[in-house]
Structure 1
Amino acid sequence: MTADVAILLALGSINLDLQVRAERWPGPGETLQVHDLLRTGGGKAANRAFLARRLGVRACLIGHVGDDDFAEETLRGPRAVDVDLSHVTRVAGQATALAMIVVRADGDKTILLAANANDAWSAGDVEAAAQVVSACEP
């Protein structure tokens, strides 16, 4: 990577997001009917990289997904807009992170996150990420 070309490095969470809409929060032990299921790739880092590419900025995503069937679905959006995924690692024996999001009619939301592979960083992974960041310094 050269210093004269702008690039966004997005390091961090890569999730499969399951979002639904609800009229209200459920009470303890209550089953509440919800609607408008959205199943999409997400996570703070993946979302930033995706949006940067949509705005015409080169983007590189650094993070982890699991070795499960959610990994490919999670990366579909960033791949479709040509985010550099060469620094996304599939972690053997780990599940891809999963966020379960409930949005009320007033826009208030709650998120339950199973971080899974997002938290599976080894010393070698940290060093590799540091090298990518260093290669972008002017």
Structure 2
Amino acid sequence: MKRPRIAVVGSLNLDLVVSAERMPQAGETITGESIHYIPGGKGANQAVACARLGAHVDMIGAVGDDSFGSSMLAELEKNGVSTGTVSRLTNTPTGIASILHTRQDNCIVIVPGANGKVTPGLVEQAAETIRQADILLVQLEIPLDAVEAALRIARSAGVRTVLNPAPARNLPAELLELADYFTPNETEFAFYRESIPANSTPPEAEADWQNGLAEWARHYGHTVILTRGREGASYLQDGSSVTIPAPIVQAVDTTGAGDCLNGALGFGLASGWSLEQSLRFAVRAASLSVTKFGAQAGMPTFSEVNL
């Protein structure tokens, strides 16, 4: 099997993870159980996911010239990600994500730091890296003009793209039309469906997501892959819905599961697999990722997914 080459344009954060028995109520102070400092950011997570599976991965983004930035770069390199196209910005902190983790769920607050200063010019400096890739992965934790710049470079070079539209933001049509694959979760897709022009058929119920996928694809010309947590992932093929079910696992930490799915999907597509084969592989990889603590630490290897 050829080794796929993947470019990831996106965020690099240090995750400050506080574990607690439960979420505090508004205005309440509770005692946490532990704190961990874990490399994260949707871009970096997806890059590690691809690299752990065996891809050649180039990370494009920015960190601060601080200890957090050094830690982020060292962790990426340890996992086999090339960091030559990650800029180190002076007088700017590395981005952080403050995560409250309970046995039931997570809530996350992000401070962009250097991620907020990823410009189209910075992306353009890595244009040749994008052009040489088999696939480009992008998310929305960096400025939208930088995301669009990356997608335009890829489109001009015939490089396929996966847009993971998280966290959900209002996106211009010209950006959406540059993506080949669009991978929202159910909550995100409900948000994005509201942006479809008013003369379209409105969603009638949650079960109407199949119509939503078809409607979205007609407007923007790309394939929508709806990630559905424990239900797996769904897409349309020849007008009919296809759902790839997720295996039943004992979840320890769901942080990064979506990033794992996107990374593994990109790995499969970049390897020349069909969409169905790629998504089956990705759903299994994401399910395995939640059985370990930490977004990047939980990313499985190729042999683990292919057992």
Using structure 2 for the length normalisation, give the TM-score: 0.41
Larger Rg: 2
- Paired position in structure 2 for 1:110: 107
What is the CA distance between 1:5 and its match in structure 2?
A: 5.1
Contact 1:53-1:82 at 8 Å conserved across structures: yes
Alignment partner for residue 128 of structure 1, among 100, 119, 125? 125
Amino acid at match of 2:67: D
What secondary structure, in the 3-state scheme, does the structure 2 residue paired with 1:53 have? helix
Distance 2:80 2:3 in 1: 16
Structure 2 gaps of 5+ residues are: 134-156, 159-307
State the identity %. 34
Per-residue deviation, residues 9-40 of structure 1 (Å, max 9, x unmatched): 11101000111222222233332111232211
What is the CA distance between 1:46 and its match in structure 2?
A: 0.6
Per-residue deviation, residues 78-110 of structure 1 (Å, max 9, x unmatched): 11122110000001110000001011211x110
What secondary structure, in the 3-state scheme, does the structure 1 residue paired with 2:71 have? helix
Distance 2:119 2:45 in 1: 23
Which of the pair is proportionally richer in strand?
Answer: 1
| Count of aligned pairs between the two proteins | 134
C-alpha RMSD of the superposition: 1.8
Contact 2:58-2:129 at 8 Å conserved across structures: no
Per-residue deviation, residues 18-68 of structure 1 (Å, max 9, x unmatched): 112222222333321112322111111111111211111111100000111
Distance 1:93 1:45 in 2: 22
Query: For residues 58 and 111 of structure 1, do their structure 2 counterparts lie closer, same or farther at Cα, with a shift above 3 Å needed?
Result: same
Contact 1:58-1:83 at 8 Å conserved across structures: yes
- Paired position in structure 2 for 1:84: 82
Deviates more, 1:57-66 or 1:23-32: 23-32
Contact 2:60-2:123 at 8 Å conserved across structures: no
Per-residue deviation, residues 93-132 of structure 1 (Å, max 9, x unmatched): 10000001011211x1100100010010234213223332
Deviates more, 1:28-37 or 1:49-58: 28-37
Structure 1 gaps of 5+ residues are: none
Distance 2:121 2:6 in 1: 22
Which of the pair is proportionally richer in helix?
Answer: 2
Structure number with the bigger relative contact order (C-alpha 8 A, sep ≥ 6) is 1
Distance 1:62 1:128 in 2: 10
